[in-house]
Structure 1
Amino acid sequence: MFIDLSEVTQRLRRMSSQELDVSGSYQNFLLDLILESKKTLAVEHVSVWLFDDITVPKKLINVASTAWQEECSEVDYPILLCEQYPSYFKAITTGISIDATDAATDPRTCEFKENYLDSNNISTMLDTIIFKNGIPHGVVCFEGTGVTRHWQGSEIAYAEMVADCCSRRLLVKDLWLLQKQLTKLAFRDALTGLKNRRYLMDCAHREISRHIRSGQQLSLVMLDIDHFKRINDSYGHEVGDVVLQAFSKYCQQVLRAEDCLCRLGGEEFVALLPNTPASGALEVAERLRLNVEKNTIEIDSHFIQVTVSCGVGEVNLAKPFSDSLKQVDHAVYDAKAKGRNRVTTY
C-alpha cells in the first residue's frame, strides 16, 4: 500500500493542532486520531493501550478503540497482563515498533493467536510506541484482517506519527489533571480537608451575586473552639491537630450538602449558609454547638471534650463580604466574653 506521507502528515498535523476538551475520557479525545489512522492505513481496527506503571509495567489498559460503539468507564477498560504475554511486553518496552507481517507466527505477537487473533480473524499487526519523557508509556495497535501484510516504511512512519500525536494529547491531559489538582489544593485546608479562607471569599462572592438575583437571604456562622491553646499546651500540637479534624467532622454532620464549611485558620471556622435567614442560622449554630459539646474525642488514652463559641449574622448583600465577616467575628468575641460555649448574633 502506497502512502503519500506529505499529504497524510499535513492532515494529521492539522487535526493534532485543534483544541480539544481533554477533561473527558481517553476515548473522547483520542477517537479522531485513531479513526483517521484507521482510514489512512486501511486496517480493521485501531486501539490505544497504556501501561499501568511506566517504570515497572505489569499490565496494559485499553483506553480507546475504533471498535467501541460507546465510551467505556475506567472500570470497564480491557486489560492485558504482562505475565500472560511476556514476549509482547518485552518487545514493546524496548520502544521499537512491532511490524508483524503475519501476527500468528511473529514471535512478538504470536502469543495472541489462540486467545485473540483466530477468533477475530486478525492476520497482521503494526504496534507503535507512545512515549512519556522518553520512556514507553503505551502502544497504538493497528490490526488488519484477511491476507498477511508487509508493512511499508511509509506506513510505519505514519503510524509512529499517530503514536506521537497520542503522546502529546496524553501530556496535555496530564497537565490538565495536575492543574486541577493544584487548584484543588489551593482551595483546601491540608489538615482538615475543608475548604480554606481563599475558597470562602470566592464562594461568598458567587453566592452574594446569586442571592441578589434570587432575592433570598444568605447567612454565616463563625465558630471558634474554646480554650484551644490550652489543649495544645497540655497535650501537644499533634493532639491538637486530631481535635481540629474531629471538630470538622462534627460540624459536617450537622450542615447540609449545599452549606460551605471553611477553616479560616487556627481554631477558627466559618459556615456559609445559602438561602438561610438569620433566624435559621441561629438554629444551625445551636445544633453545631450542641453536637460539638456532646462528643468526646479519645486520643491516646486521653478523653477530650471541647466546646465552641459561635457568632451568627445575615450577610449584607449590598456591602463587601469582609464587612459581614468582621461582624460575626465581633459576635464570637462577645460569646467568649459572656462565658464561651454559646451563640450570639451581631
Structure 2
Amino acid sequence: MFIDLSEVTQRLRRMSSEELDVSGSYQNFLLDLLNEGKDTLGVEHVSVWLFDDITAPNKLINVASTQWPNDQSVIDYPELLCEEFPNYFEAIASGISIDANDAATDPRTSEFKESYLDVHNITTMLDTVIFKNGIPHGVVCFEGTGEQRYWQSAEIAYAEMMADCCSRRLLVNDLWSLQQQLTEMAFQDALTGLKNRRYLMDYAHREISRHIRSGQQLSVVMIDIDHFKLINDSYGHEIGDVVLRAFSQQCLQALRTEDCLCRLGGEEFIILLPNTSVEGAVEVAERLRRHVEKHIIESGTHHIQVTVSCGVGEVNLAKPFSQSLKEADHAVYDAKAKGRNCVVVY
C-alpha cells in the first residue's frame, strides 16, 4: 500500500489544530484520530494503550479503540501485564516502533499468538510509542488481518506522527485535569472538604440571578457551633479539627443534595437553600439542630456532644449577598443570647 506522506501529514495537522473537548473519556477525544489512522493505513483495528505508571509500569491499559461504539462507556478496560508479555514490553520501553510484518513470528509480538492473534485473525501489527516528557507513556496499535504486510517507511512515519498527535491530546487532557484540581482546591475548605467562602460568594451571585428570573425564594441558614473555643481549650486543636470534620458530615447527612453547605471559617458554616421559603429554611435548620444535638462525636477516649445556634432568613435578591450574610450573623448572635442551641429568624 502506498501513501502520500505529504498529504496525510497535512490532514493530521489540520485535525490536531481543531478545537476539541478533552474533558471526557479518552475514547471521546482520541477516536477521530484513530479512525483517521485506520482509514489511511487500511487496517482492521486501531487502539491506544497507556502504562499504569510511567516511571515503573506494570501493565498497559486499553483506553480507546476503533472497535468501541461512540456512545459506549467502557467500564472494564482491557489490560496487558508486563510479566506475561516481556518481549513486547521491552520493545515498547526502547521507544522504537514495532513494525511486525508477520505478527505471529516476530519475536516482539509472537507472545500474543495463541491468546489474541489467532483468535482475531491478526496477521500484521504496527505499534508506535506515545511519549510523555521523553519517556514511553503508551502505544498506538495498528492491527491488520488478511495477508502479511511489509510496512513501508512512510507508513511507519505516519503512524509515529499519529502517536505524537495522541500524545499532544493526552497532554492537553492532563493540563485540563490539573486546572480542574486547582479550581477545586481554590473553592474547597482543606480541613472539612466543604466548599469555602470564595465558592459561596460566587455560587450565591449565580443563584440570586437565577431566582430573580424564576421568582422563587432563596433562603440562608448560618450555623455556629456552641462553645467551640471550650472544645479546643479542653481537648486540643487536633480534637477540635475532628469535631469540625464530623460536624460537617452530620450537616451533609441532614441536607438535600441541592442545598449548598460551606464553611465560612472557624466554627461558622452557611447553607444556601435554593427555591426555599423562610418557613422551609427554619424546618431545615431545626432538623439539622436536632440531628447534631443527638449525635456523639467519638475520638479515641473522648465522647463529645455539640449543639449549634442558627440564624435563618430569606436572601434579599435586590441587595448584595453580603447584606444577607450580615443579617444572618446578627440572628446567630441573638440565638446565642437566648441560651444557644436554637434557631432565630432575622
Under TM normalisation by the shorter chain, which class is it?
Answer: over 0.9
SS at match of 1:335: helix
SS at match of 2:84: coil
Cα deviation code 1:190-222 (max 9, x no counterpart): 111111111111111111111111111111110
Matching of residues 1-346 of structure 1 within 5 Å: 1-346=1-346
Normalized against structure 2, the TM-score is what?
A: 0.97
Q: After the TM superposition, which of the residue ranges 259-268 and 23-32 deviates more from structure 2?
A: 23-32
Cα deviation code 1:238-268 (max 9, x no counterpart): 1000000111122122211111111000000
SS at match of 1:221: strand
SS at match of 1:150: coil
Q: After the TM superposition, which of the residue ranges 105-114 and 68-77 deviates more from structure 2?
A: 68-77
Normalized against structure 1, the TM-score is what?
A: 0.97
Shift of 1:173: 0.7
Residues of 2 paired with 1:331 and 1:200: CA distance?
19
Shift of 1:317: 0.8
**Unmatched tracts of structure 1, length 5 or more:** none
Structure 1: which amino acid aligns with 2:189? D
**Count of residue pairs brought into register by the alignment:** 346
Structure 2: which amino acid aligns with 1:254? A
Residues of 1 paired with 2:220 and 2:321: CA distance?
10
RMSD, aligned α-carbons: 1.2
SS at match of 1:220: strand
Shift of 1:319: 0.6
SS at match of 1:149: coil
Residues of 1 paired with 2:44 and 2:302: CA distance?
68
**Is the Cα contact below 8 Å between 1:27 and 1:71 reproduced in 2?**
no
Residues of 1 paired with 2:127 and 2:72: CA distance?
22
Q: After the TM superposition, which of the residue ranges 66-75 and 268-277 deviates more from structure 2?
A: 66-75
Residues of 2 paired with 1:119 and 1:296: CA distance?
60
SS at match of 1:125: strand
Residues of 2 paired with 1:80 and 1:278: CA distance?
58
Residues of 1 paired with 2:147 and 2:255: CA distance?
66
Shift of 1:69: 3.0
**Is the Cα contact below 8 Å between 2:188 and 2:199 reproduced in 1?**
yes
Residues of 2 paired with 1:233 and 1:87: CA distance?
63
SS at match of 1:210: helix
SS at match of 2:53: coil
Residues of 1 paired with 2:270 and 2:322: CA distance?
12
Shift of 1:74: 4.5
SS at match of 1:37: helix
Cα deviation code 1:90-146 (max 9, x no counterpart): 111111111111111110000011111122221111100001111111000111222
SS at match of 2:297: strand
SS at match of 1:163: helix
Shift of 1:72: 4.4
Shift of 1:308: 0.9
Structure 2: which amino acid aligns with 1:190? A
Residues of 2 paired with 1:186 and 1:205: CA distance?
17
**Unmatched tracts of structure 2, length 5 or more:** none
Residues of 1 paired with 2:53 and 2:73: CA distance?
19
Identity %: 79
